[in-house]
Structure 1
Amino acid sequence: MSGPSPDAAGAVREAYGAMWSERVKAFRVASADGTDLERYVAPVVLSVFEEELARLKKDGMVIRGDLGHEPEVSLADAGAGPPRATVEDCVDLSKWQPLDITTGWPLPLPGDQPLRHAATATLERGDGGRWTVTAYVPHRSRAC
């Protein structure tokens, strides 16, 4: 991996941020309906996100609040297939609040997870020039 050019790194950061913006919308209602998640993530990633949202809905939960990030972008050698980038992020859940769908009462975050945990995303730039998240791995046991 090499240092990203400012333009490419900015485009990757923008796509990653847009994915999170749409994901936060989905968490607020425990559903991807009405979001543009499919625009920013590959089908395999969307499937994982939808499973997570289905669990929230089954558990009678939605999530409100702000989510913090500290994404660092690195780009792969563009000569080896489609342009790829890796985002190493520190996801900050300290202002994130699960709520009971029925009562609106606050629920605790999982106790086995740090409020700030690492995550890794892989993005690829498609033929149309748009960056898409092709893999997303939260490292919930790894504090940052």
Structure 2
Amino acid sequence: MPSVDPTIAQAEAAILEAYQGYWDAKVAAFSDPASDPGAELEQFAVDQAFADVASSVFTFRRNGIKVTGAPVLSPTVSEIVTGSEGSARIVDCVDGSQWQPIYVATGEPAAVPGQATRLTTTSTAYYYVDHWTIRTSEVDRGAPC
């Protein structure tokens, strides 16, 4: 059995923890778009990942939508670079079948009919100010999984 570099294994665990934290903060923000994204999002998301969540929250707020439930994640980490300028790639098949947008006023579904609920999401992690954060997170709507 090949040995695993403990530094890489520790980095992967920390990256997955940051990724889960990012998603937990994103789910919380989308479930209550009347509130601005909280400190949890700032802890786990930077750059484009933070901006995308904040933008979505404001769009949901403007349109009277919130997202109920939670997605099921199954991430894999690759391309790990450790050190002060660490980075990594995370690919996930996000199952959103139990994480759905609804109109707050009516409780009616707000999802586009026929939209895939399991989509490939590719994210980048970045070592920033002594901890791992999520820098980008792109959903490929053309790549159901």
TM-score range, shorter chain: 0.7 to 0.9
Corresponding residue number in structure 2 for 1:95: 98
Asked if 1:110 corresponds to 2:112, the answer is yes
Contact 1:89/1:118 (<8 A) preserved: yes
The amino acid of 1:9's aligned partner reads E
Once residues 45 and 70 of structure 1 are traced to their aligned partners in structure 2, the CA distance between those partners, rounded to angstroms, is 19
Unaligned runs of 5+ in 1: none
The amino acid of 1:55's aligned partner reads T
Asked if 1:138 corresponds to 2:142, the answer is no
Corresponding residue number in structure 2 for 1:121: 123
Counterpart among 24, 27, 48 of residue 24 in structure 1? 27
**1:28-85 deviations in whole A, cap 9, x for unaligned?**
1114344520111113321221111111111110011121111000133447x71111
Contact 1:113/1:141 (<8 A) preserved: no
Contact 2:120/2:139 (<8 A) preserved: yes
Contact 2:76/2:90 (<8 A) preserved: yes
Of 11-20 and 37-46, the range deviating more from structure 2: 37-46
Q: What is the CA RMSD across the aligned residues, in angstroms?
A: 2.1
Asked if 1:8 corresponds to 2:11, the answer is yes
Q: CA deviation at 1:108?
A: 4.2
Query: TM-score, with normalisation over the residues of structure 2?
Result: 0.85
Once residues 92 and 108 of structure 1 are traced to their aligned partners in structure 2, the CA distance between those partners, rounded to angstroms, is 17
Once residues 87 and 33 of structure 1 are traced to their aligned partners in structure 2, the CA distance between those partners, rounded to angstroms, is 23
Query: TM-score, with normalisation over the residues of structure 1?
Result: 0.85
Unaligned runs of 5+ in 2: none
Contact 1:27/1:63 (<8 A) preserved: yes
**1:11-39 deviations in whole A, cap 9, x for unaligned?**
10000000000000001111434452011
**1:63-113 deviations in whole A, cap 9, x for unaligned?**
11121111000133447x71111100111111112222223x131422353
Give the number of equivalent residue pairs. 139
Corresponding residue number in structure 1 for 2:63: 59
Residue identity (%) = 27
